[in-house]
Amino acid sequence: MPTTSRPLSLRPALAALMALACGAWLPAQAQSDAGADWKPRKSTEFIVPSGAGAALDVAARKLTELLTREKLAPGFIVSNKSSAHGIVALEGLHRHPGDAHALMTLSTSYGNSLAQNALPDHLQKGTPLATLFREFVTVVVRADSPLRSTQDLVAQLKQDPGKYSIGIATTLGNHIHLGVAQPLKLAGVDIKGLRIVPYKSSAESMTALAGGHLDVVSATTPNLLPYLQSGRIRVLAIAAEQRLGGAFAQAPTWKEQGIDYVSDSFQGVMTVPGASAAQKAYWVEALRKVSETREWKDFVALNQWEPWFQGPQATQQLLQTQLDTNQALLGELGLLPAAPRKIAKAP
């Protein structure tokens, strides 16, 4: 593996997050609204860094529906803001520091964007609240594709890494991209030469695959369900520890095909920079309550996710661990800065 400059560590960013969680940088009005009995007093904006219909969007809409139904918030406005590295979504989240009437989907991609030094300093200060579930990246082709297995895919890509177009969403270097690059690397493919095509959402990449505009798609399980149930796609591999159930019962894992890879991606929730301890505590408890409802558990099971509630500190550690794990792979893909700048700390 080629030597790369060591990318920035997430620890300074996490230190900044902890400072924010203690109330640093709060405007005067936000301070007055962040008392010990804080709770949302108006509709909360829930920002999704992907297009409508994608897995992030589906999860956000069910989550906000249940938070409202359980009377844990007056209501929500779901805003889809797809862009590279979630920058547009993060701009929306950071617009009102200290006002926790804004939430945003937190996924593995956030840590990878930090690792790539892709986020401006002022967008590195969000406040992680919780992890909700693990998700599994899956590689699929059309049902009529000549590629019948991962062995077929690997054999062809070893000869010509750019032979097939591979659709991902939404950003180079995110968990969807790494979820196909890592196992292919383990199989001996030169992943620098892969022909990766980013889309605004996995819903769009799957539409492109079904229409014959892509050869392969890497996506998470919810985006694949209707295509799998109608017999329009074939699963080459799923990055789970063991086979899933339901519609994915016949989908082989990478491991059973001789490639020791399991994805570690997750979805959760973050809130604004400068969130007070009371604001954090309210949302963490609200998210915990929803995660324990039967409807949420059934929803997670339907989408072939693994329920996995983790609080703020554990979620921050997850981001750090994944950043450390993915550094070498991001470097090999040429997606790390040569000289990363230092993340700004709270004053």
CATH number reported for the structural domain that contains residue 181 in this entry = 3.40.190.10
Q: How many domains does the chain have?
A: 2
Judgement on whether residues 151 and 228 belong to the same structural domain of the protein: yes
Please list the alpha-helical segments (H only) found in the chain: 11-21, 28-32, 55-69, 87-93, 108-115, 150-159, 175-186, 202-210, 225-229, 277-291, 294-302, 312-332
What backbone phi and psi angles, to 5 degrees, belong to 182?
Answer: -60, -50
Judgement on whether residues 61 and 129 belong to the same structural domain of the protein: yes
What backbone phi and psi angles, to 5 degrees, belong to 117?
Answer: 55, 35
In a domain, residue 327? The reply is yes
> Running DSSP on this structure, what letter comes out for residue 257?
G
Cβ partners under 8 Å of residue 300, min gap 6:
132, 133, 306, 307
Judgement on whether residues 45 and 93 belong to the same structural domain of the protein: yes
In a domain, residue 284? The reply is yes
Judgement on whether residues 63 and 26 belong to the same structural domain of the protein: yes
Instruction: pLDDT tens for the chain, 347 residues: list them.
Output: 333 333 334 444 444 444 444 444 444 444 445 557 899 999 999 999 998 888 899 999 999 999 999 999 999 999 999 888 899 999 999 999 999 999 999 998 898 888 888 899 999 999 999 999 999 999 999 999 999 999 999 999 999 999 999 999 988 988 899 999 999 999 999 999 999 999 988 999 999 999 999 999 999 999 899 999 999 999 999 999 999 999 999 999 999 999 999 987 899 999 999 999 999 999 999 999 999 999 999 999 999 999 999 999 999 999 888 878 888 889 889 888 754 433 333 33
Asked if 119 and 90 count as a contact pair (C-beta separation under 8 A), the reply is yes
Judgement on whether residues 274 and 129 belong to the same structural domain of the protein: yes
Judgement on whether residues 21 and 130 belong to the same structural domain of the protein: yes
Residue 119 belongs to domain with CATH number: 3.40.190.150
What backbone phi and psi angles, to 5 degrees, belong to 308?
Answer: -165, 80
Distance CA 67, CA 116 (A): 34
Domain boundary among 229, 257, 285: 257
Give the N- to C-terminal CA distance of the chain in Å, as an integer.
39
What predicted TM-score, i.e. pTM, was given to this entire model? Answer: 0.77
In a domain, residue 218? The reply is yes
Domain boundary among 226, 257, 288: 257
Q: Residue 193: in which H helix or E strand, if any?
A: none
Judgement on whether residues 18 and 112 belong to the same structural domain of the protein: yes
In a domain, residue 232? The reply is yes
Distance CA 261, CA 179 (A): 9
CA atoms within 13 A on the CB side of 72: 20
> Running DSSP on this structure, what letter comes out for residue 250?
T
Angle at 107 between CA 45 and CA 216, to 5 degrees: 115
Judgement on whether residues 279 and 175 belong to the same structural domain of the protein: no
pLDDT at site 33: 52
Judgement on whether residues 322 and 245 belong to the same structural domain of the protein: no
Distance CA 92, CA 84 (A): 14
**Domain encompassing residue 253:** 137-257
Distance CA 49, CA 82 (A): 5
Judgement on whether residues 107 and 40 belong to the same structural domain of the protein: yes
Judgement on whether residues 319 and 270 belong to the same structural domain of the protein: yes
Positive or negative, the CA dihedral 195, 8, 89, 74 is positive
In a domain, residue 295? The reply is yes
Domain boundary among 257, 275, 309: 257
Judgement on whether residues 172 and 188 belong to the same structural domain of the protein: yes
pLDDT at site 114: 86
